[in-house]
Amino acid sequence: MEFKEKRILVVGGSSGIGRGIAKCFLDLDAEVCITGTKKDIKDYGIEDVVSQQSEYIQLNLLDPQALDNLVIPFDSLDVLICSQGIVQYKRKEFEMEVFREVLDLNLTSMMACCQKFKPLMTNAGANIMLLGSGASYNATRGNPAYSASKGGILTLLKTLAEAWAREGIRVNGIAPGFVATKLTEVTFKDKNRYQSSLKSIPLARWGEAEDIGHTACFLASSKASYITGQMITVDGGLGLS
């Protein structure tokens, strides 16, 4: 398989969509390193291929010094995936302190990761993927910071794609629709909200983390070597109306 001996770093790969992405790369024999905020991968309480086969590094991107001191177990990197993200409900994102924190984590820390790891990305075919959202394109009711950060990711990835194309680094993104993770608990754990969300999805189901993982593996592979600067929406048609 194509990812044998390829090195993949999934920032925020400890849970949710990032973990699903890490799993798909592991299935294709990649060497995967993930980061998470907890001390140990075991602290997430999930026994799977990710906990068994990936390297784990604790990384709290809300600490501005954390990246400076970070050492990853790879001396070169083929694919960087930034899947870190938070959201604050109950109108907390209308408070400036919270707004700044969400922007720092969701947007600014992605740029910081790209800058930090780009020097390691000298292999042919190296590429970066940033996780966006339907909120990259549309308003999210009650979440100005989340929306602004995800909208920012869209133009950030296009700008980096243009800037680094001649160095052979592709930069793309994935905009997932509804996927059951801790960020979407408020929707899928509420029976009424969940049912009404299904009505708005043409394919009439929520996505699985692996749905996003398959697209990530495709975009990262040489099969997608002429795609750069694109955000690919994987949402079962949710965003169509």
Partner 1 sequence: MSNYRFPEGGAIVFGGSGGLGTGVVELLADCGVNVAFTYLTNEEAAKNNLESIEKKGVEGMIQKVDLLDLESTTSFANEAKEKFGKIHSVVFATGPFLNILPIMDAKPEDVYSTLDTDIKGFYHVVKATVPLLREGGGSLTALTTAAIHKYISTDGLSSVPKAGVQHLCTAIAREEGEHGIRANCVAVGLIAVGLSQEIESPPGGILDQWMQQVPLNRPGAPEELFDVVVFLASENAGYISGQSVPVDGGYSA
List phi, psi (to 5°) of 33.
Answer: -120, 135
Q: Does the CA dihedral 89-94-98-103 come out positive or negative?
A: positive
**How big is the site for partner 1, counted in residues (CB under 8 A)?**
40
Closest CA to 89 of 12, 193, 174, 10: 193
**Distance from C-alpha of 95 to C-alpha of 199, rounded to nearest angstrom:** 32
Compute the least distance from the CB of residue 165 to partner 1, in Å: 3
CB count in 10 Å sphere of residue 109: 25
203 binds partner 1 (CB under 8 A): yes
Tokens describing residue 24 = 């798909």
Angle, CA 208 vertex, CA 3 and CA 114 arms, to 5°:
50
What is the residue type of 160?
L
Catalytic status, residue 194: no
Identify the residue among 46, 62, 165, 186 touching partner 1 (CB under 8 A). Answer: 165
Mark residues 99-138: x for contact with partner 1 by CB under 8 A, - for none.
Answer: ----------------------------------------
214 binds partner 1 (CB under 8 A): yes
236 binds partner 1 (CB under 8 A): yes
162 binds partner 1 (CB under 8 A): yes
List of residues contacting partner 1 (CB under 8 A): 1-2, 28, 158, 161-162, 165-166, 170, 177, 201-204, 207-208, 211-212, 214-215, 217-218, 221, 223-230, 232-237, 239-241
Residue positions annotated with a catalytic role:
146
